Structure 1
């Protein structure tokens, strides 16, 4: 544990940010996985799930959780499966 006050604050804020980023990234992965499974099973709501996954990917890219090209590539692959 750091002794300097600003370093202590930094540790606290980085832990909070890490938790928030982990949750956002996990929900993005879940959305993408749901869309892929729905496409594979020819589900009725597959298009809606792809749209939600695209939204989650864009959100993650804008927050810097994943690279913008990685988001575009994943969105492209999802759309291609349709």
Structure 2
């Protein structure tokens, strides 16, 4: 098999084939390492609370902009 691959080929091609053969042999002998996927870091309770407060604040600002003058006074009290 190797002789048929190496007939009339350049040195670079022979080196590539040799590297592939060595890699395949090592992989068959020792096996390949499986990559583990990392899970994203969990957000803390404080971070989650800050996110909800930011969302509420943005929502309130939008309501104030869209409200009439009487409703705006009531929303500003909150």
TM-score interval for Structure 1 and Structure 2 normalised by the shorter chain:
0.3 to 0.5
> Of the two, which has the highest radius of gyration?
2
Q: Output the TM-score relative to the length of structure 1.
A: 0.37
Query: With CA pairs under 8 Å and 6+ residues apart, which has the higher RCO, 1 or 2?
Result: 1
Q: Which has the higher helix share?
A: 1
